[in-house]
Structure formats: structure tokens, C-alpha cells
Amino acid sequence: MTKYTFEFKLKIVKEYLDKRTGYHSLSKKYGFKDTQQIRRWIFAYEIAGVEGLKTGKNRAYSTEVKLNAVNLYLTSNWSA
């Protein structure tokens, strides 16, 4: 079982996107020690939408999602 549910991850990502709440504010509000986990969820959401927040070892991504990830990497400051 995963530590965080899909619904919880989506709630935080939506709060970041809708209310423009910062990483640090969200980290404090939800009790994270730093912002890294929230940043990863937001990045996954930006690349693959809600599918990026779902867990699973055998997750398959479409060609469109893969190209979107590469383009986002090339045009932003996000790490690989």
C-alpha cells in the first residue's frame, strides 16, 4: 500500500494550481519536512495529468505523454 492516496496527492496539486499556494506553505500545512515530494507530484501532474499521480510498477505511458515530458524537460528548469 502506498503512503499517500491518489486523492490526497490530487488535492495538494489542485491546491497548488488553483490557489497558487507555494510549495513551502503546502509543506507546512500538510506536515512535510521539505518541498521535494510536493514538487514531484506537481511535475508528474504537469507531464501526465492525473495518471502521473497514480502508483504502479507497470504503468504504461502513451507516446504523447512521453514527448510532453521530453519537451517540458527541454524548455524548463525541471530536472530529469
The verdict on pTM exceeding 0.75 is no
More confident residue, 61 or 3: 3
- The rounded distance, in Å, linking the Cα atoms of 16 and 32 is 15
Q: What is the mean pLDDT of residues 55-80?
A: 77
So where are the chain's domains?
6-75
Q: What is the mean pLDDT of residues 1-6?
A: 77
Q: What is the mean pLDDT of residues 47-73?
A: 80
